[in-house]
Amino acid sequence: MKYDTVLVLDFGGQYCHLIARRIRENGVYSEIVAHDIKPEEIKTLGAKFNIKGLILSGGPASVYEPNAPRPDPQILEQGLPTLGLCYGHQLIAQIIGGKVEPASQREYGIAYVTIDKPVDVLKDLNAKEKVWMSHGDTVSAIPSQYEVLAHTENCPVAAFKHKDKPIHGLQWHPEVVHTKNGAQMLRNFIFAVCKCEVNWKMEDIIEKMVEEIRREVGEGRAIIALSGGIDSSVATVLAAKAIDNRLTAVFVDHGFMREGEPEFVKNVFQEFKMYLIIAQAQKRFLEKLKGVVDPEKKRKIIGEEFIRVFEEISEKTGAEYLIQGTIYPDRIESGFRKFSDKIKTHHNVAGLPSIIKFKRIVEPLRDLYKDEVRKVAKMLELPKEIVFRQPFPGPGLAVRIIGELTEEKVRIAKKADKIVREEIEKSGLEENLWQYFVVLTDTKATGVRGDARAYGYVVAVRAAESREAMTASFAKISYTVLERISTRITNEVPEVTRVVYDITHKPPATIEWE
Ligand code: XMP
């Protein structure tokens, strides 16, 4: 059976994959394809999928830039329902002969659009809708075969459609949760406009990933980087399903783990009766990071050292393939795509050295978001402690200790972090938090302890709410909990004189500090 499928053309927008997953959430399959896919290629894909529609994603470029990514204009001539979002909306407007110009005022963040005609994609919506905008250009006019469906004060053509053909554009991002009825808008497109049937389910993805690992590794042996986080745990279980005893799981203790982490991983995976190697690599990591302050350098060094440890172990086990639990947001923020901006180097992605001794790196979860991985974990019946663990970055506390890493700083960060975890969990707040942790800053501040002057570290507490880490809000946790955290840290970790709370959303900040 062929799945009804919506293709998302990738113009480098941060939310491109989010569009695909929002569609999949509705039981309709979606794939990301290159922005310049040709109509013939779409036809070829039709042998595999029942292609019902196209979405042109957003992107950081401007349609007048000479090298801006552009679609093949012929894709609008195939009679396939097409929806442009943000930059995609401007591209369609430009192709059809509309007018795109710099907006009189850049709209960024929440905006209220007036819906002039609630039809098709905008069916059943209110006269005013809260949406998420992020654009510097605007569509100011469209040809007469098209009609305007919505506008804002600064954006005369915030939504349009062709009068007879299923071609639509929206200036805003329905895929992000800040667009209040964004889910409804996407449902309108996939069901009312594309006429998709619900014939895809998450379980199908497990089969697809297991098959992929089997195909990639063939008769070879593989090694997997198991950190004990949900991503690598899921990847480990999938890989074990795919290649059985030709898999070795390796947990590298680089020394920047949270308190109790290595013991936890050992306990959980021993129960699974799998072959697990715990590599004690604390000394060599610290040695390599001596004197290094720059966050990107730190990330690269850690990424490289990881690989070296794996290579050494795989030489012993004869593994030619490395499997990793890299998920989609790790890749997008590492700037892996041609037209998206690099935010930071996630260690299991762009931190890899250019010469890798493995034949190939296999990343079965590369297109999934964290909450999709959690769904897969539940389906695989992984223990609850793994399914609901807060994410922990590969480089660990190393990206939460600003500046040079030393044994002393790691010890301080671990102690303070443990306190934050205990207090948040004691208050029952953890269920609603994406992450909660401590950052040891490189700033020192004066305090008073007893009757004496104290001079110690400033520790920042970060607690964030998020659905998939692409955007996040700082959590508005109570002063009572914050007070308990601050009192305990300053009492129990004498090297710390001051505790501050990070009240920055993502964007403009990122979740981790480095
Ligand atoms: P940022 O700090 O970029 O983080 O907002 C987004 C999410 O990704 C996690 N993170 C990482 N995960 N390797 C990982 O596996 C990394 O190098 C890495 N850096 C950040 C972070 O904890 C957050 O959940």
pLDDT tens-place string over residues 17-49: 889 989 999 999 998 899 999 999 999 989 889
| Residue 470, pLDDT score | 83
Tokens 């190697």 -> residue: 277
Mean pLDDT of 491-502: 98
Residue 491 has pLDDT above 50, yes or no: yes
Residue 236 Cα, ligand 1 centroid: separation in angstroms?
19
Selecting among 17, 173, 254, 346, the annotated active-site residue is: 173
What sign does the CA torsion over 239, 362, 339, 392 have? positive
Atom 14, ligand 1: residue with shortest CA distance:
393
Q: How many CA atoms lie within 13 A of 146 on its CB side?
A: 26
Atom 18, ligand 1: residue with shortest CA distance:
393
In the annotation, is 175 catalytic? yes
pLDDT tens track for 267-313:
888 766 668 899 999 999 999 999 999 999 999 999 899 888 988 88
Give the nearest ligand 1 atom to 370 CA: 24
Residue 116 Cα, ligand 1 centroid: separation in angstroms?
41
Atom 16, ligand 1: residue with shortest CA distance:
346
Which one of 258, 340, 346, 514 would you pick to mutate in the ligand 1 pocket, going by the greatest count of ligand atoms within 8 A of its CB? 346
Give the nearest ligand 1 atom to 392 CA: 22
Average pLDDT in the chain = 91
> Higher-confidence residue: 367 or 416?
416
The pLDDT confidence band at residue 418, using thresholds 50, 70 and 90, is very high
Residue 344 Cα, ligand 1 centroid: separation in angstroms?
9
Atom 3, ligand 1: residue with shortest CA distance:
510
Residue 349 has pLDDT above 80, yes or no: no
pLDDT tens track for 458-469:
999 999 999 878
Residue 505 Cα, ligand 1 centroid: separation in angstroms?
15
CB 481 within 8 A of CB 430: no
CA–centroid distance for 470 within its chain: 5
Q: Which residues does a 6 A CB cutoff place in the pocket of ligand 1?
A: 329-330, 333, 343-344, 346-348, 391, 393-395, 435, 469, 506, 510-512
Atom 6, ligand 1: residue with shortest CA distance:
469
Residue 322 Cα, ligand 1 centroid: separation in angstroms?
20
Identify which of 132-141, 166-175, 324-333 has the greatest average pLDDT: 166-175
pLDDT tens track for 427-480:
999 989 999 999 999 999 999 988 899 999 999 999 999 987 888 999 999 999
Residue 328 Cα, ligand 1 centroid: separation in angstroms?
11
In the annotation, is 86 catalytic? yes
| Residue 333, pLDDT score | 60
CB 23 within 8 A of CB 6: yes
Which one of 233, 512, 513 would you pick to mutate in the ligand 1 pocket, going by the greatest count of ligand atoms within 8 A of its CB? 512
Which one of 330, 344, 371, 392 would you pick to mutate in the ligand 1 pocket, going by the greatest count of ligand atoms within 8 A of its CB? 330
Atom 10, ligand 1: residue with shortest CA distance:
393
The pLDDT confidence band at residue 355, using thresholds 50, 70 and 90, is very low
Residue 350 has pLDDT above 50, yes or no: no
How would you list the strands of the sheet with 82-85, edge to edge? 29-34, 4-10, 50-56, 82-85, 167-170, 159-162, 146-151, 99-115, 128-141
d(Cα 343, Cα 332) in Å, to the nearest integer? 8
CB-count burial class (<10 Å; 0-12, 13-18, 19+) for 264: middle
Residue 76 token pair: 């609008």
